[in-house]
Amino acid sequence: MKGFRKMKGLRFLDVYSTEDDVYGEDFTLETDQIDQYLPNTLRYLRWHGYPFQCLPKTFQANMLVYLQMDYSNISQLWGGGERKVLNKLRFLNLSSSDLITFDLGMTPKLKSLNLEYCMVSNLDLGKTPSLEDLDLSCCSDLVELHMPVECSKLKHLSLSFSMVSSFNLVLTPNLETLDLDHCENFVELHMPFECPKLKSLRLRNSKVSNLNLGLTPNLETLNLADCKNVVEFHMPYECPKLKFLNLSGLELSNFNLGLTPNISKLDLSGCNNLVELHMLVGFPHLKHLNLSGSKVSNLNLGLTPQLEELILEKCFFLQEILAPIGCLKNLFHLKLSGCNSFAEFLFDKWYHYRGILKLKLIVESTYICPLHPNNNLPKFHVKCEYDEPLPLSSGNVEKLISSGLCACTFLESFSATICGLQHLGELTLTGSIPEAPKDLWQLEGLEKLTLCMKEIKHLPDNICMLKHLKYLNLKSLLLEQLPKDLCRLESLEVLDLTECISLQDIPNSICSMKCLKSLNLSFCIRVKNLPGELGRLECLKKLNIEGSGIGRLPNSIFQLKDLCIIWSRLRLLSNGFTCLHEISRYTALSYVHQQRYDPIEVLSGNRC
């Protein structure tokens, strides 16, 4: 820093000190030693982590316009009772410093003051008529903001997390933003006259009991979240400028959004008594809507064509969602968990131009339908995960959430809804569904299909019409036989029949599947034989028959020189395989291209 000694005309100085700098062995500066490094010509001084409790005595600072000493040890501007008036200072930031008291009389022309996270207990604004921006947020000891006269130029005021109990808007006629979030002692906002300049009002978690928005015609942001004491809230029918409204946690029974054409975000989460949300006109700019935990029974999403985020968690009374196709084309995020038939519903749209559209449904039986507790129909809960890549806008979300939220009518609309989805590339159905969707053939673009529903005993024959299907997983199904025309799945590469314990045979038609690369018959205990012409599967690279009832391999299989067979160790040996690669104690794999000996010779000889 000694180099600054020669900079007699220095106007701009920016210093960044860390704790290592201040408390390290090489730090030897005392307060009076930095006098020579702070020339009086300075106009801009920013010293993050300033290590001293006050400014040096000889520093006049009479040219200073901007002073920032955040995260510093400064507790007062001048030491020893000295009082220097900084007539040119316009911007002062002492946030997160050790400041306890501050005399604004020393900065009469100040426009912006930031004392965030300081320990001041009171502040007198009577001596700063030019102040426009005041940040006292997180001053947890602040109990009083003294305003003896009108602060006509004050535009932005933040008192969040302070101990202030009241505020009078009469003294700040040009105030645009007022932040009183988390002022837990705040009980009264004096608003005797109209406040035409006020644009943002934040009162989250305060103790205000009433509020009249009729006096704030140009309000754009209102946050009353968790204001449990609100008993009277007046909102005029027309709020043309309102964009962000948070009333979460309020004791509202009904709410009329009225004419708020520019509303962009509406949060009514935790309004546990809310039974009706009146939306009588369109809201073309609404992008974020949260009704979680409310008792709203119906919702018309046709009025919100620009919606990007919709949160409806634990809306147990929600019976109907009207969602015309295309009304959710801009939706990126959806949570519908805990809404009757939907135990969980997650949707996220993501940027992936080569991705495929995926749907996963886990269906479990349940005993109760909150909407129809007395009927005897089977009831189901669904966990749904739906992924859709951009720029695709399929209209599938609208179909899924409009298909019925009732737990006892879900099964009626299930098949038609699933099979009516557009551009679906991957479908996974697991759980307790008694039968597979009947019209799977309509999913023309389907590439991956997983059906892990133990109650299913047969598949619809039209599944063989899925010409683009590459992966078919039928694990643990109670199938007794596969569709005879399975060979029509001309693009199929993977067929997984693991633990299909009722399956009795594999149709010969499978030998015509020219693209099949992997066949898994593990633990298909009733399957005794493989088709004799299995060797025609020229692309087959992996055959898993571990735990199956198969004892012998067809001779044609040895035409498949690159085939890997997973089987029990003894079975492989008895079928002439000598070079085994053990997987577990009883299971091994081997390749057809490795040397094959006569089974009798192998049992009495060596293996590699």
User: How many helices, marked H, and strands, marked E, lie in the chain?
Assistant: 5, 37
Instruction: Name the residue among 97, 179, 103, 173 with its Cα closest to residue 134.
Output: 179
Q: Which two tokens stand for residue 210?
A: 């009433």
Interatomic CA distance for residues 218 and 552, integer angstroms: 83
Indicate the pairing of strand 542-544 with strand 357-366.
unpaired
Q: What is the DSSP letter of 169?
A: G
Lowest mean pLDDT among 149-163, 239-253, 317-331: 317-331
The pLDDT of 529-556, averaged and rounded, is 95
Is the pLDDT reported for residue 417 higher than 90? no
| CB-based contacts of 376, cutoff 8 Å, min separation 6 | none
pLDDT of residue 404: 62
Interatomic CA distance for residues 209 and 228, integer angstroms: 8
Q: What is the pLDDT of residues 126-148, one digit of tens each?
A: 889 999 999 999 999 999 999 88
Interatomic CA distance for residues 84 and 57, integer angstroms: 10
pLDDT of residue 236: 87
pTM: 0.83
Residue 329, burial from CB neighbour count under 10 angstroms (0-12, 13-18, 19+): middle
Q: Which two tokens stand for residue 606?
A: 């060596």
- What is the rounded average pLDDT for all residues in the chain? 88
Q: State residue 586 phi and psi, 5-degree precision.
A: -115, -10
Where does 457-592 sit in CATH, by number?
Answer: 3.80.10.10
Q: Which two tokens stand for residue 50?
A: 């300033």
Centre a 10 Å sphere on the Cβ of residue 7 and count the other Cβ atoms it contains: 13
Is the pLDDT reported for residue 431 higher than 70? yes
pLDDT of residue 599: 42
Interatomic CA distance for residues 211 and 226, integer angstroms: 14
Q: What is the pLDDT of residues 71-88, one digit of tens each?
A: 999 999 998 888 899 999
Tabulate helix, strand, coil % of the chain (nearest 5): 15, 25, 60
Lowest mean pLDDT among 282-296, 407-421, 458-472, 512-526: 407-421
Residue with tokens 């040890």: 73
Higher pLDDT, 123 or 2: 123
What are the domain boundaries of the chain? 250-349, 457-592
Interatomic CA distance for residues 331 and 309, integer angstroms: 6
Interatomic CA distance for residues 165 and 171, integer angstroms: 16
Is the pLDDT reported for residue 600 higher than 50? no
Instruction: Name the residue among 169, 236, 223, 234 with its Cα closest to residue 196.
Output: 169
pLDDT of residue 181: 98
Residue 192, burial from CB neighbour count under 10 angstroms (0-12, 13-18, 19+): exposed
Return the biggest CA–CA distance within the chain.
109
Dump strand ranges (E) for 72-132: 91-93, 112-114, 122-124
Q: What is the pLDDT of residues 13-51, one digit of tens each?
A: 999 987 665 554 555 555 455 655 688 899 999 999 999
CB 242 within 8 A of CB 265: no
Name the helix (H) or strand (E) containing 601.
helix 599-604
pLDDT of residue 598: 44
Indicate the pairing of strand 581-582 with strand 587-591.
antiparallel
Q: What is the pLDDT of residues 351-396, one digit of tens each?
A: 555 578 999 988 887 777 766 677 777 777 788 888 888 766 788 8
Instruction: Name the residue among 600, 597, 602, 578 with its Cα closest to residue 588.
Output: 578
Name the helix (H) or strand (E) containing 412.
helix 410-419
What whole-number percentage of the chain has pLDDT above 90? 62
pLDDT of residue 415: 79
CB 308 within 8 A of CB 330: yes
Q: What is the pLDDT of residues 460-483, one digit of tens each?
A: 999 999 999 999 999 999 999 999
